[in-house]
Amino acid sequence: MQIDWDVESWLRLGLTEGVGGSALRRLLITFGDPAEVLAANQQALEGVVKKTVAANILQRRIDTDKFAQTIDWLKDPLNSLITFADTDYPEFLLNIADPPPILYCKGRREFLTRPALAIVGSRNATPQGMANADAFAEAASNAGFCVVSGLAQGIDAAAHQGGLRGAASSIAVVGTGLDLVYPSRNRELAHQLANEGALISEFPLGVPAMRNNFPRRNRIISGMCHACLVVEATLYSGSLITARLALEQGRDVMAIPGSIHSPLSKGCHALIKQGAKLVESIQDILDELNHLPPQVNVSTSAVSEAMRDNINTDDSAADDNKLLTCFDYDAIDIDTLCIRSGLTVEVVSAMLLALELEGKIGSLPGGRYQRIR
């Protein structure tokens, strides 16, 4: 991006020791813009922030190495700084109680102005949960919603992948500086998001993954979106924090139900009991948001098509696919499959391997399997 005095002023103030988001918002309300803050005298500054913070601003106490590193980082065309002063700062995010004054962005910053849907869930998702997140994200993206999630393993990663395939793409909100990728196994996905979607963070470069960063990240995920969809979550999942923040921010909360026996359904069921919208199809989301998808026939959306394709394939397939009729909606072990099918362990094991390679079932801990519908 073009680095002018305005950009430098935002960056200098944002990197000043002791100037956090709350202090920076108060300073901007009082003085108008960072250049005016940097030009203010001690007495004026002390009327807004603590004496030590005012002194840090006056004496320009910033990490000069971090400042120089960020200026170099901004020279990459993919990288930019988005502030309250920019027209492409997410409109919905401006309306939360504590919006971040500065966002670091890698990728297509214009995507931040698109209508957005948050899709979140468990890091230790089931194969069916991953398939649901992927399919719902692709359908939502084709309906005009940019899919926003947190780049975590499991549901987040599946949501990003589905969103990237759709027309409105995907944005990852991360809990580190944008020169780092966490978790590292999502590095390839992060590069794809940088090229085809976007990654954003309120944290300066070099900030590592720390426990306290992620609730702050979650408020941005929910805050920039029209609604938050929880796909799978335990009762103690961080996804429920995002859902709670969404409610506090006045956003719609939705959840996909699951098996009554699965711990990963408990969080979703708790949300539904508390009034969250029960979601079974992309149409449920569109109806709730009064949104009609452009150039997409919802009755033949990605979710509906995927489910019909699976059913048709299952009905017409032979041999290995016959074992699929022995599955129900819950996870199942190999002994139960042998009893239901009347086949030996050796035969069932071979069939399970073939079905897993075809993506029709997924393996779970404890020697259990789940059909992916």
Q: Is residue 336 part of a domain?
A: yes
**Any idea what the CATH number is for the domain that residue 293 is in?**
3.40.50.450
Q: Is residue 75 part of a domain?
A: no
- Residue 305: the pLDDT is 40
Domain stops at, among 298, 325, 355: 298
φ, ψ for residue 101, nearest 5 deg: -65, -30
- Residue 319: the pLDDT is 61
- Residue 291: the pLDDT is 67
223, 249 Cβ separation under 8 angstroms:
yes
Indicate if 146 and 256 belong to the same structural domain. yes
Indicate if 287 and 324 belong to the same structural domain. no
Indicate if 291 and 321 belong to the same structural domain. no
Indicate if 277 and 340 belong to the same structural domain. no
Domain stops at, among 233, 265, 298: 298
Indicate if 242 and 123 belong to the same structural domain. yes
Indicate if 25 and 142 belong to the same structural domain. no
Q: Is residue 69 part of a domain?
A: no
**Long-range pairs, 255-258, Cβ under 8 A, ≥24:** 255/229, 255/230, 255/231, 255/279, 256/132, 256/136, 256/229, 256/230, 256/231, 256/232, 256/280, 258/128, 258/129, 258/232
Give dist(CA 314, CA 324) in Å, integer: 7
**In this predicted model, what pLDDT tens digit does every residue of 86-109 receive, in sequence order?**
999 999 999 999 999 999 999 999
155, 122 Cβ separation under 8 angstroms:
yes
Q: Is residue 2 part of a domain?
A: yes
Indicate if 274 and 127 belong to the same structural domain. yes
Q: Is residue 87 part of a domain?
A: no
Q: Is residue 86 part of a domain?
A: no
**In this predicted model, what pLDDT tens digit does every residue of 227-243 receive, in sequence order?**
999 999 999 999 999 99
Collect all residues with Cβ–Cβ distance below 8 Å to 324 and sequence separation of at least 6: 314, 317, 355, 360, 361, 371
- Residue 373: the pLDDT is 66
Q: Which domain holds residue 155?
A: 109-298
Q: Is residue 307 part of a domain?
A: no
Indicate if 37 and 169 belong to the same structural domain. no
Tokens (6 digits) for 308: 């019909």
**Any idea what the CATH number is for the domain that residue 329 is in?**
1.10.10.10
φ, ψ for residue 82, nearest 5 deg: -115, 125
Place of tokens 């990663």: 157
**Any idea what the CATH number is for the domain that residue 56 is in?**
1.10.150
Indicate if 118 and 157 belong to the same structural domain. yes
pTM of the model: 0.81
- Residue 346: the pLDDT is 78
Indicate if 163 and 286 belong to the same structural domain. yes
The domain tally of the chain equals 3
Indicate if 55 and 158 belong to the same structural domain. no
Give dist(CA 229, CA 268) in Å, integer: 10
- Residue 321: the pLDDT is 73
Given a cut of 50, the residues of the chain with pLDDT beneath it are: 293, 295-317
Q: Is residue 364 part of a domain?
A: yes
Indicate if 117 and 208 belong to the same structural domain. yes
